[in-house]
Amino acid sequence: MTGDIVEQLDHIFKARSIAVIGASRMPFKWGGRMVMTPLTTGYRGAIHPVNPREKQIAGLPCYPSVLDIPGEVDMAVIAVPAAAVPQAMRDCAAKGIRGAVVITAGFAETGAEGKALEDEVVRVAREGGIRFVGPNGMGIYSSAVNLNLCFRGQMRIGRIAFVSQSGTFGGLLAEVASRKGYGLSKFISIGNQADLKAADYLEYLGEDRHTRAIVFYMEGFKDGERFFRVAREVIKKKPIVMYKAGRTGAAARATMSHTSSLAGADEVVDAMCKQVGIIRTSEVTTPFDMAEALVSLPLPPGNRVAIIGSGGQGVVTSDTCESLGLSVPEFDHETKMTLKEAVPAHAPVPSNPVDFAASNRTPLDEARVADALAQIDYIDGIICNTPHLYGGVSSGDMARAAVEGAEMLAAIPRKYGKPVITLRWGPDDGDVAGSIVKAAGIPSYETPEQCARAMLALARYAALQRRVEAD
């Protein structure tokens, strides 16, 4: 197979035209979804349905074979029964198609007979110069050409790439991330990895200008040695966050029947992640919280965190930070006395966290404290509240204070080179103050634990970068 991985996979992720082999009029069938989803979500290329029994599908001309499609076709989406996939791949090779996404299941995950069929598909593809995703996958999403094969609606565009060994579950996780406001550059349901392996996607995403952080949901590796070798190079440029499933015996059995992968010894995977610098998480939605901070904030010079939050909020945030390995240093006497002037008289002397003691402060009050903390050399990052218009006030002094405070807070990362992470009280309703901070790339989370884990990701990746520079 000639050409580098970028040239090969651009035929898939930057496809200017696609052929849907096994296209259907029935939108609930895979062949129908593979036509209707890109058609209705803004794909910028041409869509060519292929079905010898149809003349037209969704208003598009339908062709008996890919060989009948006029002009060049970059990528094929294959949704025919498993036994018909080898011939479909032969037709693609004859047409000169260089990339494919195989949706069809019924291959190695079903046993020896399915494995033999999968091997035949791989052989045909390699002889024809085709790289393909799958089989037994749900599809892909690529912001580069707005190609969506798997989500019900348009996705929020962002700089996080998500590679998932599970199709349906991975798709649900991607939609959860989108609802939280995290945008994706890519989503790849890798399925059985018959041809393209996790390491191939990682290598490609390492060069992808649309991607700044890479998230993996993995159950097992078919190329573990190469994956970690590639990761060692990619992580010098972009952070990698991973949720690795299959830790228990029951989960390992499920992994084999799900995507025909061996889960592998969890201790080995954990050790390799630590050695390479991959941030591994124990909760499946946490990688997106971490990645959102990693794509938008400066890396902290250390792991020392200042916290602004009343009462229990400060206690929980401090507890979580220190339990994760972050430091919450006590302020020196001079800083305590300076900050005491900024908090209400009844509030305790600020020692970290800073407690406003349930006073009627404004976002400007908190922003002034945050700005002062950002100037302290032994503070590397700040966790505080998301500025918002208290009580829904939209005009007057309170509104002006909220906007001014938001602008001051938004300037801190750029001004001092230190990250700010915020805790959101209530729904993300997009008021003016919150929008100012969001536009500056400061993420807003729903719990103190999420805030702490996001700061941890920044501190860990910063430490890795310092280590790389030292080497």
For the chain, the domains span 1-136, 138-296, 297-470
Q: Is the peptide bond before 135 cis (omega within 30 degrees of 0)?
A: yes
CATH number (3.40.50.150, 3.40.50.11540, 3.40.50.970, 3.40.50.261) of 297-470 reads: 3.40.50.261
402-415 residue pLDDT tens: 899 999 999 999 99
Q: Which two tokens stand for residue 75?
A: 């990528």
Question: Would you state the pLDDT for residue 225?
Answer: 93
DSSP SS3 for 349:
coil
| Rounded CA separation 423/97 (Å) | 49
Q: Which two tokens stand for residue 73?
A: 């076709």
| Rounded CA separation 111/305 (Å) | 52
If you average pLDDT over residues 229-237, what whole number do you get? Answer: 96
* pLDDT surpassing 70 at residue 139: yes
Cβ–Cβ under 8 Å, residues 452 and 320: yes
Asked if 138-296 and 297-470 have one fold, the answer is yes
If you average pLDDT over residues 275-291, what whole number do you get? Answer: 94
If you average pLDDT over residues 104-113, what whole number do you get? Answer: 96
HSE, CB side, 13 Å, CA atoms: give it for residue 63: 17
Query: What one-letter code names the amino acid at 342?
Result: A
pTM of the model: 0.92
Question: Would you state the pLDDT for residue 122?
Answer: 98
If you average pLDDT over residues 86-93, what whole number do you get? Answer: 98
| Rounded CA separation 275/115 (Å) | 34
Question: Would you state the pLDDT for residue 355?
Answer: 93
Of 350, 326, 361, whose CA–CA distance to 456 is shortest? 326
If you average pLDDT over residues 366-383, what whole number do you get? Answer: 97
Whole-number CA gyration radius for the chain: 25
If you average pLDDT over residues 312-336, what whole number do you get? Answer: 96
Sheet arrangement for strand 131-133 = 46-50, 17-21, 75-78, 99-102, 131-133
DSSP SS3 for 415:
helix
Question: Would you state the pLDDT for residue 258?
Answer: 44
Q: Which two tokens stand for residue 68?
A: 């009948």
DSSP SS3 for 7:
helix
Percent of the chain at pLDDT exceeding 90: 79
Instruction: Give domain 138-296's CATH superfamily.
Output: Succinyl-CoA synthetase domains (3.40.50.261)
Q: What are phi and psi of 152, to 5 degrees?
A: -70, -30
Question: Would you state the pLDDT for residue 220?
Answer: 87
Question: Would you state the pLDDT for residue 400?
Answer: 86
DSSP SS3 for 52:
coil
If you average pLDDT over residues 213-237, what whole number do you get? Answer: 94
For all residues of the chain together, what is the average pLDDT? 92
Residue 1 banded pLDDT, cuts 50, 70, 90 = very low
List beta partners, residue 61: 56
| Rounded CA separation 247/88 (Å) | 37
* pLDDT surpassing 90 at residue 459: yes
Question: Would you state the pLDDT for residue 251?
Answer: 52
Span of 169-173, 273-277, 343-347 with lowest mean pLDDT? 343-347
The CATH architecture of the domain made up of 1-136 is 3-Layer(aba) Sandwich (3.40)
* pLDDT surpassing 70 at residue 85: yes
Q: Is the peptide bond before 353 cis (omega within 30 degrees of 0)?
A: yes
* pLDDT surpassing 90 at residue 254: no
